[in-house]
A = this chain, B = another copy of it.
Amino acid sequence: MILLDGLATSKQIKQEIAAEVRQLQAQGHRVPHLAAVLIGENGASLTYVNAKVKACEEVGFQSTLVQRSADISEVDLLKLVDELNNNPDIDGYIIQLPLPKHINEHRVLLAIHPEKDVDGFHPENVGRMALGLPCYLPATPAGILELLKRYQVPTAGKHCVVIGRSHIVGLPMSILLQRNANPGNCTVTITHSKTTNLPELCREADIIVAALGKPEFLTADMVKEGAAVIDVGITRVPDSSKKSGFRLAGDVDFAGVSPKCSFITPVPGGVGPMTIVSLLMNTLEACKRRI
């Protein structure tokens, strides 16, 4: 069993990005600049945004955290989006979700200029991904592809079962893995809450991407000997043995499943760190396009 070490890989990629940033500077260019918009005081959102800002610092990017209070009007938020679209100093930006309930999330995400949409959430980027055109890939699927590529996990002709059809992980993952590309060329089955025979489907899979958000859902009896397993889930589970009172659990029962696997991602330290690195890669790409 080979551990797909997202933490180590993300560190390696950060070094590669930092080297590219130094090269850009040496050529007289400015460094990539990511802005992150945070609305309100959601603790988890603040943690995520801070991690992104910190990652920018590590690789030598400029970053700007734009904070607004939770009572911002949709009109004012759309004005802010317009400013960010037109600010030539900012290569790309993200709007940390969720947004307060009085704001139409779709309307705000649609207002982001596709060329600055480094989260890859805008329909134009999603469509370009499906059509195999240059685009910003959504961060988590892009991070998984990068892991598969660097560990040379075989994908062509393999049967991949994706569990979950979310717009940010399951669906794009299913689209990306079926493409005529490397990684890619998988036969892909996308499954969800209406799927009736998930255990049987999983047992036939060469690759399983578990992205449903149910702690330790995928158990050893659902996994074929030699399968590659990608665990996208990360949930806080109460654990009285921990000082914090909880532990982080993936969607995969790692202890049971990992002995059967050819490759598997741990949680934490698997897909999670790769997600932030994808955002950095998209921002670097956005900067290079502007140069």
Contact = CB atoms under 8 A, between A and B. Distances in A.
16 contacts: A106-B133, A123-B133, A123-B135, A127-B127, A127-B130, A131-B167, A132-B167, A157-B196, A165-B179, A174-B174, A175-B175, A178-B190, A178-B192, A185-B192, A186-B194, A187-B191
A235 interface: no
Chain B CB count within 10 A is highest, among A106, A130, A187, A197, for: A187
Contacts of A208: none
Contacts of A194: 156-157, 180, 185-187
Nearest to A122: B127
Contact of A126 (B130, B180, B187, B188): B130
Interface residues of A, number: 38
Interface string A173-212: 0110011100001111111101111000100000000000
Nearest to A177: B190
Q: How many copies does the complex hold?
A: 2
Contacts of A11: none
B185 A175 contact: no
B171 A130 contact: yes
A45 B197 CA distance: 44
Given A175-B171, A194-B187, A127 B123 contact: yes
Contacts of A124: 123-124, 127
